[in-house]
Structures are given as structure tokens and as C-alpha cells.
Structure 1
Amino acid sequence: MISCFDIGGSFIRHGELRQDGTVSETGRVATPGADWHAFVQAIDKCSKKSQEPISISLAGAYDERSGIADVANIPCLHKRHVQMDLEAALGRPVVITNDANAFALAEAIDGTGRGKPVVFGIILGSGVGGGLVVNGSLVTGVGGMAGEWGHGPVMDPTAGGQITGLEHYPCGCGQVGCIDATCSARGMERIHASLHGAQLASRDITATWHDGETQAAETIEAFTTLLARALSVLVNTLGPDVIPVSGGLSNDAILLDLIDRKTRALVLADYASPLVVKGQFAENGGLHGAGIVARTKFRREKA
């Protein structure tokens, strides 16, 4: 059986590709972030020392041309030729896909975007990411960076003069004013701190918002306004049929509904039904997407 992995900074989740093309999680282990040899051993053990290929969804940028991964939160993989080095260490074929791309592929092929021409899957969690699938094919772009809408110094913290009190927040990529720095869960926390001088976790902000607390409501209003404005540009550019969402913030149906309504109000196309929705594979997109890559690449090669 082909082994599939969803590798994040905290955990390595794994499962096997079934004959029906699905993948379910069969276990998880802690990610040995700083130890390459321990990382290889973890992958080998989880794949039961089979000689079958391995398909990996990786939480980080991956350039298929150079083979170099950019995974700052997993130091032993950062700036490494991960595919080549894993193939050499394990003695079997390896294919690697960015986790946001894997999620978008899962949604486009088997999920909320099944049968739809343009699917833009987005991640709204501790960071902001995305993946683009057109006519069933993943668009990776130059350097594998297509879909990474979270980065680029484009954020206007005033929302065109609607909001006061927010800053141009620095981003982990080294720029200032990225969507990732403002519209992620961490961005929501920054907005709350700027507006109200209080440090509060995003889950507590949304919880108190649901309870009708005024300061939380002001934070959510600013957050969703900024996010919808940024997302509207992507909608007008890409013309997606659906935008499935994964990540921690996707679990809040009321928040997603607000983001959806605000986004549709700003775009040129007439979307009569919800556009921004929780993905069918919001909890399992990395593994399922890795399975799609595996069944497309490795099963085709065997045929």
C-alpha cells in the first residue's frame, strides 16, 4: 500500500491509500523537527518499512524545480532537498506537495469543488495560505508559490479610512503589511491588542464575540472587513466557483458566514449562493490531497 503523510511542525499524521482512493489517518507521531535522522526513522516506521512509494503533504513551501523545501518550523527540513534525500534514505519513490495545495486538490477533486472549474482553497489558521486548482489540475506556478495569497505587503490597516487604531504588522516572511500578519488567527489577536490593549487568544475573542461582548465585536468587525477586502481581489482575479476553507478559524460557522457575505458584497461577479465555505476535507485535507497525488502519479506509472 502507498503510505501518505501530512507533516506539520508538531505532528506527522499518516495513513494508507485505499483501493477506493481515500485516505484516513491511522496514527500520528511527534515531528522530530531538529533531527534529520530521527525524522527519517519516523517516516520509515510509520510506513511499515514497505517498498511502496510515499506521498507527503508538507506544511511549507516546496519548489519542484529545485527540490528545496522552505519549512522554517521544521529545521531539519528547511532548505533541504527533501524529496531526493528521503528517496536516498528510504530507498523508495517520494512525492511532496505543499499542504495548502493538497487541501485545495482534495476539495477540487472529491470535496466541495468537485466538478467545478476553478477552486481556490484557503487556510485560515495560525497563518494564511492557499492553493489553486483549475479544471482538476493543481496550479503550482513559478517556484511552487501559486496560491500563496497570504504574502505581499498589500494590507491597508485603515480599510480605506473605515478603521483607526491598527498598525502595519510585520510578517514572518520579513515583509510588513502581509495578509498573513493581519488576517490569520494571530492577526486577529494583534488587531484586538491594537484596538483594546488586551492580549487575548483568537478562540477567546470569537467566543466572547458570540456572547455579545462589545470589544470582541469591534475586533471581529475589523478583522472580517480587512479579510474580505483582501479576498475580494483574489475572487475578481481568479473567478473561483467556490472557496473552501481549512484551518482553525474554519470551525466557526458564524465567522465564515460573515466573511462570505462581506466578500460577496465586494466582488464584481454575482454569487447568489455562499462562496466562502468550510471545506469537506477541512480536518483531513493534507492526507486526502496526498492520496490524490499518489493515486494520480504512482498508480498511473504502474499502469
Structure 2
Amino acid sequence: MILCFDIGGTAIKVAEAYSADKVIPKGRVATPTDDFDAFVAVLKDEIDNANTQPEVIAFSMAGVLDPETGVANMANIPCLTGRKLQAELETILGLPVVLANDADCFALAEATVGAGRGHDVVFGLILGTGVGGGVVVRGALINGAGGFAGEIGHGPITQRIIDDPAVTLPAFECGCGQAGCLDAICSARGVERLHHHLHAIRQDSPAIVANWEAGDPAASQTIAVWIALLAGPLAVMENMLGAGIVAVGGGMSNSPALIAALDVAVRDRCLRRFERPLIVPAQCPVEPGLVGAAILGLQHYKTIAA
């Protein structure tokens, strides 16, 4: 059995996994963000209360690990930042530990039991509070130790002059410290920022998308600009990776019409001509962070048991 944890800034979700398609959620507890001892105590309680002794502890985490040093950077969980987390947890818990960033776990889940089944290369795209991603090649993460590959949301690449509709944009500041990142303008918060910039209207992203679906002119312009900003970088990513499918998760993926419109725009810009959808909503039936962690744990168990 693989005991899985999806570690977020607010809650820790827990599951027991016996295979990629048998991941059983066990509930959630509040995340001790500032107290490492309390964080470890939560993990020990879940291990003690598991139905059977786990073979591996697997984590999906809202952050990244330096691929060379193993040092964690978890912006919303300060007590984990700066630690060589895998080594520390293995020592404390006395069990094998695997960790991956949540976007990577999402991508792995989609490649294995979601929209990416049957494709050699899968790009998992997060369009939610932020813009993120992960890459899976032939069933394995392309960067098993880091969590940086696929992070299309960061880097000063956002187009500032749009021809259709004709708009000139500032380079919006991003939480990563740069300006002009897709994360700053194409995430859910970014759409809200864009809408306010274009129309001086403050609305949340679900309302903007719903108004776009209803044909509202202001929302239609906002979404047209959003698609123009995002489609080009996604087409470049597709040209680099040759992904068979791009599975989209996060709050923005709740609108099938929005993802379909983005898909048309991306396919129009790709070198490869697709006669089928490329950008599709995620399909993983269980929490993808837990499923992705489970898959990593199962893969690691096969390695150590061989």
C-alpha cells in the first residue's frame, strides 16, 4: 500500500493507494504551515491510522525541489522551505519517501488514468490560481527530481501588443518577481486583472467566463485577448514537446466552451495539423494530486522491490 499526501497551503489530503486506479481518499486535515514538528505529527498520525503498513509514503506538494540539492521551496508552507525534505522525512518516518510538485502529479495522473491515456507525451496544464504544468513521457515524469519542466506560467514572454482585438497591455508584475509572465495575466486572477484593465470592471473569473458564454461584449473582448495571449506560447510548447494531448485542470477548465475555444486557437498556431482536439479538459476521476502521488509511489516501490 502507498500512503499518499497532497500537501496544500490550507489542507493536507490523504489517500491509500493499491494501484493507479484504486486510490481511496481518507479525508483531510489542516496544514501546519509554520511548525515542522506539527507537520510531522500529522504524517505520523496518518501512518499509525492506516489500514495496513505503507510500503512507501508519496507526496504531491505545492512547491518545487531543487533537482541538484533536493532543497524544498514551498511558498505557502514556510516550515518546509529550505529543508532537504525527502532525506529528512525518510529519516524521521523510517519509510521510503517520494515527492513531486502538484502540477507534475496532475500531469502524471492525467497521463495514466485521465485524458492522456494512450499518448506517449502528455502535457498537463493548470489554469487556476496560477498557470503551471508538468510533462510526462512514456508514463514517467520528464524531470523526476525537480518540478520545473512544463512551468509555462513563468518567464517574461507575454505578448503586449495584440492585433485582434487591437490592445496594448502593460507587463503585469508576477508573484515570482518578474514582469510579463503568463501567470500574471492568464491565471484566474490574471483574467480578473485583465478584465479590470480593459473595462474598469471588477468581476471574478467564473463571472467573466459565464458572461463570455452569454455573449457579453466586454467579457468577449477580455476572453479574446486571454486566448490570444495564451495560444501562442502553448503552440510553441506543443512544437517543442510534440505532446499527443494537453490536459487542462484548474478552475478555468470548468468551462468546456472556453477550453474548446483555446484548443482551436492553439491548433491553428501549431506546426502539426491536428484533426482532433489537442487541448482538452482533465478527466482524472479522483483528486489528481493524490493519484499522481500514488503512481510515483507505486513506481518507486517496484524499483526498490526489484
TM-score range, shorter chain: over 0.9
1:199 to 182, 198, 202: 202
Would the alpha carbon gap of residues 158 and 211 (structure 1) be closer, same or farther in structure 2, given more than 3 Å must change? same
Tell me, in whole angstroms, the C-alpha distance in 1 between the residues paired with 2:107 and 2:221: 31
1:121-160 equivalences under 5 Å are 121-140=124-143, 143-159=146-162
- Cα pair distance change 1:247/1:268, threshold 3 Å: same
More deviation, 281-290/155-164: 155-164
- Whichever residue aligns with residue 2 of structure 1, its letter is I
Deviation at 1:283, TM superposition (A): 5.6
> What amino acid does structure 2 have at the position aligned with 1:103?
F
Amino acid at match of 2:249: S
What's the TM-score, normalizing by structure 1? 0.94
- Does residue 90 of the first structure (1) align with residue 93 of the second (2)? yes
Superposed CA offset, 1:152-199 (max 9, x none): 111112235754252211111111101111111111011001001122
Are 2:4 and 2:57, in contact at CA under 8 Å, matched by a contact in 1?
yes
1:280 aligns with 2:283: yes
> Which residue matches 1:24?
24
The worse-fitting range, judged by mean Cα deviation, of 152-161 and 270-279 is 152-161
**Alignment partner of 1:18: what SS?**
strand
| Superposition map of 1:80-229 within 5 A | 80-140=83-143, 143-159=146-162, 162-229=165-232
Opposite residue 128 of structure 1, the aligned amino acid is V
| Contact 1:192–1:219, Cα closer than 8 Å, also in 2 | yes
Are the aligned partners of 2:114 and 2:285 in contact in 1 as well (CA < 8 Å)?
no
Q: Deviations over 1:78-126 (max 9, x none)?
A: 2222212222222222110111111111122222222211111111100
| TM-fit CA distance, 1:143 | 4.8
CA–CA distance in structure 2, aligned partners of residues 104 and 20 of structure 1:
13
Aligned twin of 1:233 = 236
Amino acid at match of 2:278: L
Deviations 1:239-294 (A, max 9, x none): 11100011111111111111111111111111100000011127621111111111
Is the Cα contact below 8 Å between 1:54 and 1:92 reproduced in 2? yes
DSSP 3-state at the match of 1:72: coil
TM-score by length of 2: 0.93
Structure 1 vs Structure 2 CA RMSD: 1.9
Change (3 A) 1:235 1:68: same
Residue of structure 2 equivalent to 1:3: 3
- Cα separation, 1, equivalents of 2:151 and 2:305: 33
Distance 1:48 1:205 in 2: 46
Could you list the per-position Cα deviations for residues 194-239 of structure 1 after superposition, in whole angstroms to 9, with x for gaps in the alignment? Answer: 0011221111211222232221111111111111122111111111
Q: What is the aligned-residue identity percentage?
A: 46
Q: What count of residue pairs does the alignment treat as equivalent?
A: 303
Counterpart-to-counterpart distance in 2, 1:256 and 1:111: 16
Q: Which runs of 5 or more residues in structure 2 are unaligned?
A: none
- Residue 235 of structure 2 aligns with an amino acid whose one-letter code is S
Contact 1:63 1:143 in 2 (8 A): yes
| Paired residue type of 2:282 | G
Instruction: Work out whether residues 55 and 301 of structure 2, in 8 Å CA contact, stay in contact via their aligned partners in 1.
Output: no
**1:196 & 1:74 partners in 2: Cα distance?**
36
What code does the residue aligned with 2:37 have? H
Structure 1 gap ranges (5+):
none
